[in-house]
Amino acid sequence: MMKGKRFFGKCMSFALILTLTATATAFTACGGNGNTGNTTELKVVNYNGGIGGEWLEDLKTSFEAKYKDVSLEDGKTGVTVTIVPDKTVVESMFGRGNHVIVYQCCNIDSLRNSDYLLDIGDAVTGKTVTVKDKVSTYDTAIETRLSDSQKQLLSSGNGSYYAVPHYETFGGIYYDVDLFNEMKWYFANTVNNTFISNGSATKSNGPDGVQGTVDDGLPATYTQFYALCDKISESMKPLISAGSVKRYLNFLATEAYLCLAGKSASYHYTLDSGSDTVNYITDIDAYVANNDNGVESATINSDTLYKLSQQAEKYQALNLLDTLMSAEEGAKLKYFTDSSIGESRTNTDAQKEFIFGDEIPAYQNAAMIVEGNYWVNEAKTHLQSYEKRHGGKTKNYAYMPLPAVISTATEITPEQGVNSYTLADQAECYMMIDKKSVGDNSVLINLAKDFIMFANTEENLKAFTKKTGVTKALSYDMTDAEVSELSSMGQSIWKAKKKASEKGLLFYFGSNNAKYLKYSDYLSLNNSQGKTFWFSTTNQTSDLYYAFRSTESKHTTAKEFFRGMVKTASDLA
Amino acid sequence: MTRQKIFKSKNDVFFYLCLVLIPSIQFAIFYIGVNFNSILLAFKDRESGVADKFAGLTNFIQIFSQHKSNSRYTIENLLLYAKNSLILYVFNTLVGITLALMFSYYISKKFKGAGLFKVFLYIPNIVSPAVLVIIYKYFLEEGYPGIVYSITGESILGLLTTNRFFWVLFYSIIMSFGTSVLMYTGAMGQISDSIFESASLEGVGPLREFVSIVVPLVFPTLSTFIVVGLAGLFTHQMNVFSFYGESDGVSDIWTIGMFLYREMKTNDAWKYYPYLSALGIVLNIITSTLTFILRGVLNKFDPTGDR
């Protein structure tokens, strides 16, 4: 009897300890209203991916300095910006006591419908914000920096806005300028697709078809692009990509499509081509046999939107990737490093290999990397290490505009090159305020709005670009002197963006059109998983590497992949 | 002999109720509440910008054909994922459990190096799964080709690149040993030494001892693992996410568990929650039925006759 009593007592004690521990653990997760001692706390969640958080640390310092002697709450003076780095899905950022969310891959429509987002219309359209008694006035309203499509996507009308664009991601090819200069991998201004023989030789016009511009000598057609890859492969691998993130290769196809399609790419979200037409393939077999056959022209509107799925430029982009992936050397690829095929090297590993390829025996040297424009910021540590090892010498990289025309010509005209430098954001990054976390606390609400307005002044937009080398998805300007302060990559990206913007070929996919919102996972250009811009029913994948790698079970040809991408009117009804 | 009273007074009852109150509330909210909403969701339809509508059995019908707007959600894909789930379960049962029993026997008999063996088998339960996957991937992709290169001079691709499904499956099996070995070792430790002594006197060798004595006596533990494994048939992800993230390029090796997890994580997933909820209900019905049948069969063949 005593034994049973003791046993029962032990069980109860253990159960009590367990319950108390579980309860205490549960309550530690509660965020509370943000009290950091004697200052008012503003919590900012930052997606700490390619862009990192250094730029936000700088912003935090200057924002806190602004409120140094300001009392926003009783017994408190000043503001503390608490930065919370995270990388999980954006939906999980809300309702956790984080006031400002700075994140990528955001479906604003979905977040708005889920009632996560605070209406920040006054912060976007206005120039003044009052936080308790402190009035802040800014020169420019954020709204003036938005494109029409951004305004449509982010606003629900009547001056309401739910997010402000953050940085933009341009995927594609970035090349080693020093290597290209050293090896003279530029096309000469001749008729035979030959390369220059010395540094002072005249280069070809390049993809834009204009002599004397920064893209001179770069491949203007895909014939030249493959010739360049063949030339490079005589001494090293032309391309490197993240082996464990095969989806990065989609960047290449997307950028190829944009440079070929030009303005017509924007019909995915405007749903209206006006009187302009697009070339859509009606018979892929005939088209593959002869590009003049099996193709027709049509205007695009809400009813004919499905014809964009058959756009000829999409097939050409797929064909580029198929051609590159089909060039094999045994089990390996002629144009890609072994690590690009393997499963273990991450995107940062690929960056390191790209930078140190000729110095580390385990690496292969590559001339071009398939990445997003943020890669140089991600690889900062490696670049600094390179500088240290080479007595301060920096590496120079630049964005490579892809061919804007399907042609076998050795030189193209400016008219043919008009679509070169077409760029579109592929990451959908935004700054938002979590409605639930700020509640009806007017101090926190206005402080969060002020933070967003402060982050988007001309000065801070430039500071962001100077720090990261990445541009913001907003309209702002930098002087030539300021641009020259950027790294070679940063300058290249800035100039590419400026050129695209001047030509009206800088796109931000987004709309408040009901059809666009309904089919946004198909129509948007976001490269994240679950998006189906490149999805094919032929092999049930949107990861193009697996579609064109011959050793994969999902292997198919560009033609068959394209066949599985075609949609009918009822698919987009 | 009378049974002893546990609760001697009303105070004991009150104390006990206080203790179970919080876990009961937690169960009510996070199991009954969450699943209740999940069941309701299976009968709804979702579109951007409009409130959820009642959809009857539409989602259930779409499971056996194709989703109206998502071309990835087809019965063919689901059957492929189910096939992978089944292969994983069969291999885990046939290979994994067999090896776990053998390892446990080795450890319980304290053969040479048993202690070290136990530590190595349990390491996967201590080290972060993400770290283990990175190490494993690097060995298959960099280490093994490096060894081959240094011996033969031939540059080859990694093992994971050349045979993805097998090596991911292999990883899942070797990672499963930790807990099962611990449980089997504990069960084997309960076997009276006198049985082993008696068997030894009869001239029974280790293999016969393992097959005819140890396995039958630990059958209750063994059948628990087999039944629990079946219950988790459609939730086991085979660690695919750890290897490949959400890439649909490797969807040919997805299990149902991986498919469900991946679909919940992607952008715009909220539109497809009704379909996924309906799928969850269907899978629940299937696994519940199979689990009860299997349990019945195993109970019938239990050599210990304890059940």
- Which residues in chain B are closer than 8 Å to A91, comparing Cβ atoms? 270
Which pLDDT score is estimated for A2?
Answer: 55
State whether A313 and A233 are in the same domain: yes
Count of CA atoms in the C-beta half-sphere (13 A) of B53 = 8
State whether A186 and A125 are in the same domain: no
In a domain, A129, yes or no: yes
Contact B47 A332 (CB under 8 A): no
d(CA B141, CA A243): 10
Which pLDDT score is estimated for A412?
Answer: 87
User: Which of the residue ranges A248-262, A329-343, A484-498, B111-125 would you say has the lowest mean pLDDT?
Assistant: B111-125
Tokens, residue A401: 């505009």
State whether A451 and A308 are in the same domain: no
Query: What is the arithmetic mean of pLDDT over A224-236?
Result: 96
In a domain, A485, yes or no: no
Contact B249 A518 (CB under 8 A): no
Which pLDDT score is estimated for B1?
Answer: 47
Which pLDDT score is estimated for A481?
Answer: 95
d(CA A383, CA A356): 9
For residues A185-199, one letter each, b for 16 or more C-beta atoms within 10 angstroms of the residue's C-beta and e for the rest, the string is bbbbbeeebebbeee
State whether A64 and A150 are in the same domain: yes
Contact A551 B141 (CB under 8 A): no
- Which residues in chain B are closer than 8 Å to A247, comparing Cβ atoms? 247, 249
Judged by a CB distance cut-off of 8 A, whether residue B190 touches chain A is no
DSSP state letters, chain B = -PPPPS--SHHHHHHHHHHHHHHHHHHIIIIIIHHHHHHHHTTEE--TTS--EE-TTHHHHHHTSB-SS-TT-BHHHHHHHHHHHHHHHHHIIIIIIHHHHHHHHHHHTT-TTHHHHHHHHHGGGTS-HHHHHHHHHHIIIIIHHHHHHHHH------HHHH-HHHHHHHHHHHHTHHHHHHHHHHHHHTS-HHHHHHHHHTT--HHHHIIIIIHHHTHHHHHHHHHHHHHTTTT--TTHHHHHTT-GGGGGG--HHHHHHHHHHSTTGGGGHHHHHHHHHHHHHHHHHHHHHHHHHHHHT-TT---
In contact, A162 and A108? CB cutoff 8 Å: yes
In a domain, A202, yes or no: yes
d(CA B159, CA A382): 29
In contact, A399 and A500? CB cutoff 8 Å: no
Ramachandran area for residue A95 (φ above 0: left; ψ -120 to 50: alpha; else beta): left
Judged by a CB distance cut-off of 8 A, whether residue B16 touches chain A is yes
Residue ranges making up the domain that contains A163: 35-168+426-473
Contact B246 A530 (CB under 8 A): yes
pLDDT class of B4 with cuts at 50, 70, 90: low
pLDDT in tens, A92-122: 899 999 999 999 988 888 898 889 999 999 9
Looking at the DSSP bridge assignments, the partners of residue A79 are: A40
Query: What is the arithmetic mean of pLDDT over B43-54?
Result: 80
Q: Residue A539 pLDDT more than 80? A: yes
d(CA A219, CA A193): 9
d(CA B188, CA B100): 12
Q: Where are the domains of chain B?
A: 59-130+178-300
For the domain made up of B59-130+178-300, the CATH class stated in words is mainly alpha
Residue A355 is part of a domain; what is its CATH number?
3.40.190
Residue A143 is part of a domain; what is its CATH number?
3.40.190.10
State whether A155 and A301 are in the same domain: no
Quick one: closest CA in A to B48, which residue?
A518
State whether A435 and A410 are in the same domain: no
Name the 3-class secondary structure at A156. Answer: strand
Handedness of CA B217, B220, B221, B226 (dihedral sign): positive
Residue count of chain A: 573
Q: Residue B265 pLDDT more than 80? A: no
Tokens, residue B106: 């080795």
Query: What is the arithmetic mean of pLDDT over A488-494?
Result: 94
d(CA A413, CA A421): 15
pLDDT in tens, B164-202: 999 999 999 988 888 888 889 889 988 888 888 888 888
Quick one: closest CA in A to B146, which residue?
A362
Contact B270 A89 (CB under 8 A): no
In a domain, A560, yes or no: yes
Tally A–B CB contacts below 8 A. Answer: 128
Which pLDDT score is estimated for A219?
Answer: 95
pLDDT in tens, A155-169: 987 889 999 999 999
**Of A473, A489, A507, which residue constitutes the final position of a domain?**
A473
Judged by a CB distance cut-off of 8 A, whether residue B19 touches chain A is yes
In contact, A218 and A400? CB cutoff 8 Å: yes
pLDDT class of A30 with cuts at 50, 70, 90: very low
Judged by a CB distance cut-off of 8 A, whether residue A92 touches chain B is no
d(CA B274, CA B45): 6
In a domain, A226, yes or no: yes
State whether A123 and A230 are in the same domain: no
Q: Residue A419 pLDDT more than 90? A: yes
Which pLDDT score is estimated for A4?
Answer: 57
State whether A102 and A240 are in the same domain: no
Strands A39-47, A100-103: pairing is parallel
Name the 3-class secondary structure at A121. Answer: helix
How far CA B205 is from CA of A316, A349, B211, B212, B303, in Å, comes to 70, 53, 10, 11, 21
State whether A437 and A455 are in the same domain: yes
Which pLDDT score is estimated for A439?
Answer: 94
Which pLDDT score is estimated for A570?
Answer: 87
pLDDT class of A526 with cuts at 50, 70, 90: confident
In a domain, A4, yes or no: no
d(CA A567, CA A249): 23
ipTM of the complex: 0.79
For residues B91-123, one letter each, b for 16 or more C-beta atoms within 10 angstroms of the residue's C-beta and e for the rest, the string is bbeeebbebbbebbbbbbeeeeeeeeebeebee
Q: Taking the CB of residue A480, how many other CB atoms lie within 10 A of it?
A: 6
In a domain, A298, yes or no: yes
What pTM value is reported for the model? 0.87
Q: Residue A29 pLDDT more than 50? A: no
In the block, residue with structure tokens 């802040």: A136
Domains held by chain A: number: 2
In contact, A494 and A471? CB cutoff 8 Å: yes
d(CA A175, CA A218): 10
Q: Residue A128 pLDDT more than 60? A: yes
- Of B243, B244, B267, Cβ closest to residue A530: B267
Which pLDDT score is estimated for A247?
Answer: 92
In contact, A447 and A453? CB cutoff 8 Å: no
Which pLDDT score is estimated for A464?
Answer: 96
Q: Output the average pLDDT for chain B.
A: 88
pLDDT in tens, B232-256: 999 999 999 999 988 888 999 999 9
Best of B248, B261, B263 to disrupt the A interface by mutation (most A CBs within 10 Å)?
Answer: B248
d(CA B300, CA A434): 57
In a domain, A500, yes or no: no
